[in-house]
Amino acid sequence: MADSLGATAGTEAYSWLSKTTLQSESALAQQQHLDRLTSTDASFLHQEGPNAHMHIGGVLIFEGPPPEFADYLDHIRGRLHLVPRYRQKLATPPLDTGRPMWVDDPSFNLEYHVRHSALPAPGTERQLFLLTGRIASQPLDRSKPLWENWLVEGLEGDRFAIISKTHHALVDGVSGVDLATVLFDVRPEVTTPPADLEPWHPKPEPSGADLVLAGVRGLVNTSASLLTRGVYAGSHPLGTLKIARDAVEGVGEIAWAGLNPAPETPLNVEIGPHRRYAVVRQQLDDYKRVKNAFGGTVNDVVLTVVSGALARWLRSRGMRTEGLEMRALVPVSVRTREQRGSLGNQLTVMRGPLPIYIDDPVARLRFVRRAMDGLKESKQAVGAATLVAVNNLAPPTILAQASRLNFSTRLFNLLVTNIPGPQMPLYVLGRQLEDLFPVAFLPNNHALAIAIMSYNGGVDYGLLGDYDALADIDVVADGVDSSLRELLDAARKRDARRRGEAAGTDTARDDERRAEAVGTETARDDERRAEQPERGENESSDAGPGRESAAGPNGGPTPIIPLSSGRSKVGPAADMRAKRGERARSGPKDSDG
């Protein structure tokens, strides 16, 4: 059994490692100098401002003592070639004549991007998350590659942490390959970088004319792609008609969502530049137990838990929740198999309902399940992908306006993103990763974002809040735990009822079987008793003269003591009795006579 489990785990580890390697090789091929940002990537740049920072990241907690900082730098340096975008910076064509591009940074300095820090004693997790909030509050320098990485020592329990920070324009955070992905190993053995690794040589920094020419080339490639699709559409009219109909329906559904705005809540206020960060640890098996008991998906359970937590938080502020249904922006990756490994964003979004007004946790889950099933069957994702394709041809000014509309408070109250992670232990320089808490971002007028990531049997929540608007972010975190406990209690009761019903059914079946057995035996006894008198009569009639039947009176058993008052008058015994009687009658004889 242990061998089979070990083989399964090894197969999963090899599969994950192979997938990561293939994605990294694909990323190496696709991340080129003078690549133009997609419209979705550029929208995150347009959304960024003094108070809205468009970077994402994670807090990674490891067991064991921290590695030497020089060793950690060498570890990153040995794998940085797998993600060339991390050595590239932004370059904008003159007069904003096109979308920005990625260009090699000739002054790239690894020590600038990788920082070394330590927590003051006693090094609690609370101190670590305060540091995370401060790091999340600082925008990235756009004149350099858009990422930072912090090695943090001094965490209690003989642990250390890594805090990663990457601009959303660089990676979508759901299924793209980033630096954190290529740093991991699936075994504790420390691997050395390849000996034949060639030193990196940046391409020359482009001039303004080079940027304009590259922008025109990118526009031509986009137009050619659309032309190719047009030719394909002409040769496949039926399929094209269905796609066009789905796209129109999807755009209509998005427009309708805009006409039905999300409710006003304390989360949708003007935010500042500073952030708070809180976490929740839970187990993936608990979510699976709930979904197995009541149906749906793990993501449905997540949205139900978030709904319950927000309801508690609002009531703690004295707000009424009757009839209140908040709306969550739920990112969904639309990355195709061919696009795996490429950096940048391949995302669309769905606006999932959060039924705050439903107090019963099971009823709340059923509502979320039905609503999300309806969204999956709708054309909303198709419509969003259509708008993204149209935006690819839009000039920067129109694209900026469109991106602001996408993040409007009319459409959603908060961001909720659930990221599936590897279900096996991961290692960095031989140290095992214990927890992986994701860090999302706050658009303007959105004071809370909740990111969830599953890893190695756990579910880790990362709650990012505006420092001023969400001083009580811990109330939301506690509500996540309470909400899941409610669902688990309901699932246990349901399981107990099912076991009781199953046990009752088994008992009834046993009673039926026992009754049938007793009835059958009774019938057999009756048959035997009914047959016995007939056998007695037959045996008595067969008895010869001077012999008694083997059966007793009335067919009963033969008595031990004879019941008859007479004795047989023939035979030796009868002759002896006759002689004794004669002597007794004659009396004794006279001696003289």
Per-residue confidence (pLDDT) for residue 24, from 0 to 100: 47
> What is d(CA 455, CA 61) in angstroms, rounded to the nearest whole number?
12
Chain segment 537-553, per-residue pLDDT in tens: 444 444 444 444 444 54
Mean pLDDT of the chain, nearest integer:
78
Does residue 166 have a pLDDT over 80? Answer: yes
In a domain, 1, yes or no: no
In a domain, 532, yes or no: no
Cα angle 517-522-527, degrees, rounded to a multiple of 5: 130
Confidence of residue 7 (pLDDT cuts 50, 70, 90): very low
Per-residue confidence (pLDDT) for residue 221, from 0 to 100: 62
Mean of the pLDDT values across residues 31-57? 88
Does this model's pTM top 0.85? My answer is no
Report which listed range, 2-6, 406-410, 484-488, is most confident.
484-488
Per-residue confidence (pLDDT) for residue 420, from 0 to 100: 87
Q: Match 């059923």 to its residue by tokens.
A: 366
In a domain, 520, yes or no: no
Q: Match 């004071």 to its residue by tokens.
A: 447
> What is d(CA 216, CA 65) in angstroms, rounded to the nearest whole number?
52
> What is d(CA 133, CA 153) in angstroms, rounded to the nearest whole number?
17
Chain segment 477-509, per-residue pLDDT in tens: 999 999 999 999 999 999 888 888 777 666 656
C-beta neighbour count of 34 within 10 angstroms: 19
> What is d(CA 439, CA 432) in angstroms, rounded to the nearest whole number?
20
Does residue 40 have a pLDDT over 90? Answer: no
Per-residue confidence (pLDDT) for residue 198, from 0 to 100: 83
> What is d(CA 344, CA 32) in angstroms, rounded to the nearest whole number?
12
Beta bridge partners of 118: 153
Beta bridge partners of 436: 60
> What is d(CA 346, CA 509) in angstroms, rounded to the nearest whole number?
57
Q: Give 96-153 as a DSSP string.
A: G-S--EEEE-TT--HHHHEEEEEPPTT--HHHHHHHHHHHHTSPP-TTS-SEEEEEEE
In a domain, 390, yes or no: yes
Confidence of residue 330 (pLDDT cuts 50, 70, 90): confident
Which domain does 146 fall in, by range?
Answer: 8-195+202-495
The CATH number for 23's domain is: 3.30.559.30
Beta bridge partners of 249: none
Per-residue confidence (pLDDT) for residue 21, from 0 to 100: 46
In a domain, 508, yes or no: no
Does residue 410 have a pLDDT over 90? Answer: no
**Amino acid, res. 497:** R
Does residue 561 have a pLDDT over 60? Answer: no
Per-residue confidence (pLDDT) for residue 209, from 0 to 100: 86
Report which listed range, 88-97, 164-173, 557-566, is most confident.
88-97
Mean of the pLDDT values across residues 564-575? 59
Given a contact cutoff of 8 angstroms between Cβ atoms, the answer to whether 482 and 309 are in contact is: yes
**C-alpha 457: how far from chain center:** 9
In a domain, 39, yes or no: yes
In a domain, 523, yes or no: no
> What is d(CA 551, CA 534) in angstroms, rounded to the nearest whole number?
11
Mean of the pLDDT values across residues 555-574? 53
Work out how many domains the chain is built from and give that number: 1
Chain segment 53-78, per-residue pLDDT in tens: 999 999 999 999 999 999 999 999 99
Confidence of residue 193 (pLDDT cuts 50, 70, 90): confident
In a domain, 252, yes or no: yes
593 DSSP assignment: -
Does residue 379 have a pLDDT over 60? Answer: no
Strand pairing of 347-354 and 427-428? unpaired
> What is d(CA 487, CA 483) in angstroms, rounded to the nearest whole number?
7
Does residue 460 have a pLDDT over 80? Answer: yes
Per-residue confidence (pLDDT) for residue 123, from 0 to 100: 97
337: its two tokens: 């198999």
| % of residues, the chain, pLDDT over 70 | 63
Ramachandran angles phi, psi of 374, nearest 5°: -65, -40
Stronger pLDDT, 325 or 385, i.e. the higher one:
325
Question: Which of 164-178, 284-298, 412-426, 452-466 shows the lowest per-residue confidence on average (mean pLDDT)?
Answer: 164-178
